[in-house]
Structure formats: C-alpha cells, structure tokens
Chains A and B, each alone.
Chain A
Amino acid sequence: MTQIPDSSGRFGKFGGRYVPETLMNALLELEEAYTHYSKDESFQAEVKELLYRYSGRPTSLYYARRLTEHLGGAKVYLKREDLNHTGAHKINNTIGQGVLAKRMGKTKIIAETGAGQHGVASATIAALLGLECKVFMGEEDMKRQQLNVFRMNLLGSEVVPVTSGTRTLKDACNETLRYWVSHVTDTYYILGSVTGPHPYPMMVRDFQRIIGDEARSQMLAAEGRLPDYVVAAVGGGSNAMGIFYPFVEDEGVRLLGVEAAGRGVDTNEHAATMTKGRHGVFQGSLSYVLQDNHGQVLPAHSISAGLDYPGIGPEHAYLKDSGRAEYVPITDAEALEALQLLSRTEGIIPALESAHAIAQTLKLAPTLDKDQIVVVNLSGRGDKDVEAIMGYLGGAEHESH
C-alpha cells in the first residue's frame, strides 16, 4: 500500500496545506519534528506512559449484552473511550501533541474547542506539562458548555471567547489560526481533530489510532475474529479516524461514519458535511465542505457542539470517495433517543456526539444476524451534556443551538 498521506500531505486528492505563507515554515517545522519524534523511542515511551498511567488506557471493549438483546440482532460492543481521563478520546491526541510541543521547546500552547472536550483535554495536558494554555471557544458554545469553560479555568487555562462569524467551532478554529499567525514563533497549536493543514490530519490520526489498535486486538481476544462493522460519530472526524484506521486494510470490516443531521438533511440546520457538502478548501485542507454555490462556507447545526462543524478531515473524504467507508446522517432527535436508550439499558450516559453513533447502531444491529458483530466507538461520556439534555427533554421549546 502506498504511504497515505504522501509527502505533500495528500490523501488521494484531499488534504494539502492551504494556509497563509506566514504559517508555512511553522507547519514544515512541525512536520519535521513529528517525523523525527514519531521514530524516537523515548518520545514514544513518554506518550505511552501518560496514556496508560495518567489517562487509564487501555479502555475496555465492552460487550453491551442488554442493548444487544434489546435490539435482537448483531452483537454490539462498545469501545469505552468515555473511560479516559477527562471523559473522551480527545486526551489521546493532546497527550501526544503536548509532549511533542514540549520536545520542540514550546512553552505556550493554544487550542480551539467546540463542545469543550478538546479544550479541557488541552488544558489538562498544559497543567500536567507546565505549559501556558489559551483555548479559543465560540461565544455560543461557551453558553452551551459553561461547565467545561469553568473546568478549563480551574485547570489554569485562559478561555478566549470568539465573537466572529457563527460564534461556534468553525470560527473558534479561524480565530485560533489567526492567533497562531501572530504568535507562531513561540506558540504550539494543538489542533483537536483530523482536520486542518498537513501534518495535522496525519498526526492526529496517528495519536488517535490507539483506539482502533486496541479495539482490534481486544476483539480478536474476545471473539477470535474481526467485527463486521465499526461505527463512529464524525464531526471533524478524530474519534472515527482513530478507530477506523487500523481496520482500513481489513476488507471484511465495514466502516460507518455517522454525521449530525441536526433537524434533518432537508432543512438548513444540519452538519451533514458528507451527505450535503461538496469538495472544497476550508481551514487549510481540501475535503468535503458545507457551502453555498459561491463557495461561502455555511453555518452548521447540531444538538452536539462537537459535531457542529461544516468541514471534515481529508482522510475521511478519501475513504468516502474510494468507497472504503460510508457516511450516514443521524438527526438531533434520533441521537437524543439513543442517548436515553443506552442510559437505560447499559447504565452508560453517552456524550451527545457518541449518541449519534449509538443511534445508527439502533438502526443497523436489528438488520444483522445474531452472529455478526458491531463495534461502536463510545467516544465520550455524557456528563458535560446532562444539563443541556435536561433542557431538551423538559418538553418546553428549547433551542438546541
């Protein structure tokens, strides 16, 4: 198999580095440092040590017996990324990039955040490694995720409210990049997903692939075979890429990405980038983008702040167009329903993001035989969403955005 991405950061035609010239040397330096340290044993050992001793990996691959019985079809396994320190898969990446930043001699880090999970994971690693941290967060999202804002402050980070554009994740990313352009000499940007300019999509995938590597060997140990399906939610796509990647060469394993359909893909309020988007350049790479006919990026909508994003990582675009993975939409309502069902059958309250993957599983598993297996990436726990969910389920007219 050819090396993906190639040396210019291309996954097929997707990816690349569409950024202002001011950032180019920083990206080239980052790529060089990453290439060097990814082969460096002491770097790898430090990252591994933190993943195992600090974050509590490996996370379990849990057979959801009651959910399986309820659905009456394929066996459902949950990859419990919600059991990570800070409650989501995001820490896998921030540990990797935090250690890298430190090795590169950077003392300041910046990060963007939507739901706040990546912001919290960045603030956490900044505290642990003694780095100064600023997290850029849309003003809208700060309202939706007040607890995470407070968490980041407790951890010693500054949360910078973003008031431009949509005041959500998309513009938090823009603002982080703008800040980086101004402070590129002493600041490391911990990008939180498999998006952005090369080398981020590759690097974040590499730091997240531990999810799939573990799931694959845990599945072989538990069942002596590989699963038929791997299901994961996609916003930018880091948890999905993390669990998909080690299965890409296993042709018998179908990869299913679940994107946020918001109020429905036929409304104007969704984040279904794969279903409704077109190829375009957005925030540093060529991928699928939600955009109008003139190439203006459209605001996204999802009940889940983490999926509320009009772009998606370029490797996902590559997997889609090559037919290796499929991408399907799940609405806000379906995700809410799935969240409640998982809570009641398994005693696990999933994050709203992960609830989209569960919702797709509720559709998929009953159509499969009892000897088939579905692995779902439970990317995060729902504690951060409980207050919002209380609002949605309260019966009154609640704005989910």
Chain B
Amino acid sequence: MNLIDQTFARLREEGKTALMPFVSVGDPDLDLSLDILKQLQQSGADMIELGVPYSDPLADGPVIQRASERALRSSVTLRDCILMAERARAEGVTIPLILFTYYNPVLQFGLEPFFELVKDKGISGLIIPDLPLEEDSEVRTMSENYGIHLIPLVAPTSRERVTAIAKRAKGFVYCVSSLGVTGVRAEFHNDIDHFLATVKEATDLPISIGFGISSREQVERFEALCDGVVVGSAIVRVIEESLPLLHDPATKAEGLQRIGQFVSQLKG
C-alpha cells in the first residue's frame, strides 16, 4: 500500500488533518535541506512536498521563485531532489515524500529512468503543476505501473472538469485555494467552501488544500473541510528569513528551531 494512503487512513482514524509542508529542495543547499526535512518531521509534518527548483516556475509566486533561484545557484538538479528522499530516509524521515516538479526536467530526464529512480528512492507521490489532464496520459500510465501516485490539481475555475480530474486521481486531490500563483494571501476564493464541497462529492479520496495558506487560523479553518493542508510559501519564507542563522554553524540549530517552531504552531 502506498505510504500516502496509509498515512491518510491513519489520520482519518485519529480524526486528524495532515499538515503538508512544501520546501524547495536545495534551498539554500542540499545538506541544509536534509536538516530542514528532519526538522519538519520532528515538528509534526505528516507529509512533505519536495519542490524541484526550476528556471521558469509558472505556478509560483515570488517567494518560491526566489527559493528556486537559490537552489539553482547551487546547481541542484532533479536527480539531487530525488536522491534527497533516500538521504532523508537514511536519517530517519519516515513520513511520505511527494515530489513537486515542473514537467520539462522530467521530460529531459526520461520518463522511464525518472520513475525507476523515484520508486527506488522511496518517493510516494508526484505533482506536476503544468501537466493538466489533457497532457498527462503517458505520465499517468507510467505512475500507475510504478505505484507512484500522480496527484492532480483542481482549481476554483475547474468547474465541470472536477469530476474527470477527481475520477483519475490517486492519493489525494490537491485543491488550489484561490486564483493565482503560490504565495501568502489574506483572502481565498469567495466560493471556497462550495468548491471544496464539489470536490468532496466527486471523490472518495482525501482532499488537500494549498496555495496561500500561511497561518494557524487558516489551517484551522480548512481542517474542518479537508483531509490535508499544504503550507508552502509561508514556510519557504521562514527558511529565507533564517538563512543567516542556517549558514553559520554556530547558529544553525537556532535557525532550524525557528523553522520547527513555525511548523508546530501551524499544527496547533
């Protein structure tokens, strides 16, 4: 059984919602990323999205763009991001890892070798934000063959597409909270409750919400409606603010602690 399914099943029994932090792998470098992943698990993360840095992150706002740029400056590749899963496992990270990557790096890697490596290194799910339903048949077939969940995004603008997307989904359905790119925001789509209800109706799978969620209050608001809450830019921003601490060996622990504290207060 896929680790994502196991985790959601357990949380459902416990009546809990998954907290799913996103980080850009390699921001600011691979070793620190590893420390951050361990810290996230320790502070209560239930799953982690491993963001692959990309030169043209169309779905991302400025915070994740900057993280991507920092990681690319240390020449982090798709392979490094996948291998990060193995390193994390070796250091005691047991929660599900989900790879978040734009399509072109995967395409250049080659689909077959990509899935081989993803499977081998213990990644459970895959999110490709620029691969909508119409373009994903090859990737979907292959992810089914390899037992990796291809997790689709649905947006408030998806309307009648929700059913078709949800029907093919594996793992969970990722609901985009509002129109726009990733990033902290004060307001969500005004019909958000209705949108989430529509998605719930269309699938028996867990649903998670993401894009713009940054505070405990917001997490709390969605815990009642969703099985998982993704927090991306807000965490990446705390990492960014902690960079001076992280870079200095004398204050690294303090930096990690700051990130950890942010995550545990989100968890409530």
A interface residues (Cβ-Cβ under 8 A, vs B): 8, 16-26, 164-165, 170-171, 174, 177-178, 181-185, 278, 280-284, 289, 291, 293-298
Give Cα A282–Cα B153 distance, bound, in whole angstroms: 19
What residues of chain A lie closer than 8 Å to B118, measured between beta carbons? Answer: none
B interface residues (Cβ-Cβ under 8 A, vs A): 54-59, 61-62, 65, 69, 72, 77-79, 103-109, 129-135, 152-159, 161, 165, 176, 179-181
Give Cα A280–Cα B153 distance, bound, in whole angstroms: 22
Closest CB of chain B to A58's CB: distance in Å? 38
What residues of chain A lie closer than 8 Å to B130, measured between beta carbons? Answer: 18-20, 281, 284
- 24 residue pairs bridging A and B, Cβ less than 8 Å apart: A8-B134, A17-B132, A17-B135, A19-B130, A19-B132, A20-B130, A21-B153, A21-B155, A22-B180, A24-B132, A165-B65, A178-B58, A183-B179, A184-B157, A184-B179, A185-B179, A282-B56, A283-B58, A284-B130, A291-B104, A294-B77, A294-B79, A294-B109, A295-B105
Among B55, B62, B156, B157, which residue has its beta carbon within 8 angstroms of that of A297?
A: B55
Among B58, B104, B165, which residue has its beta carbon within 8 angstroms of that of A20?
A: B58
SS of A interface (majority)? mixed
What residues of chain A lie closer than 8 Å to B62, measured between beta carbons? Answer: 164
Are A182 and B56 interface neighbours, CB within 8 A? no
Are A294 and B105 interface neighbours, CB within 8 A? yes
Among B77, B131, B153, which residue has its beta carbon within 8 angstroms of that of A18?
A: B131
What residues of chain B lie closer than 8 Å to A8, measured between beta carbons? Answer: 134
Known: A182-B180, A291-B104. Contact between A18 and B135, CB under 8 A? yes
Among B57, B78, B135, B153, which residue has its beta carbon within 8 angstroms of that of A294?
A: B78
What residues of chain A lie closer than 8 Å to B57, measured between beta carbons? Answer: 174
Give Cα A177–Cα B129 distance, bound, in whole angstroms: 14
Known: A184-B157, A291-B104. Contact between A21 and B176, CB under 8 A? yes
What residues of chain A lie closer than 8 Å to B105, measured between beta carbons? Answer: 294-296
Are A295 and B181 interface neighbours, CB within 8 A? no
Closest CB of chain A to B101's CB: distance in Å? 9
Residue of B nearest to A298 (CB): B55
Are B59 and A181 interface neighbours, CB within 8 A? yes
Residue of B nearest to A178 (CB): B181
Residue of B nearest to A166 (CB): B55
Residue of B nearest to A22 (CB): B155
Q: Which of A174, A284, A294 has the most CB of B within 10 A?
A: A294
Give Cα A178–Cα B211 distance, bound, in whole angstroms: 13
What residues of chain A lie closer than 8 Å to B180, measured between beta carbons? Answer: 22, 178, 181-182
The 7 closest A-B pairs by CB, nearest first: A295-B108, A182-B180, A295-B105, A22-B155, A296-B55, A295-B104, A297-B55
What residues of chain B lie closer than 8 Å to A294, measured between beta carbons? Answer: 77-79, 105, 108-109
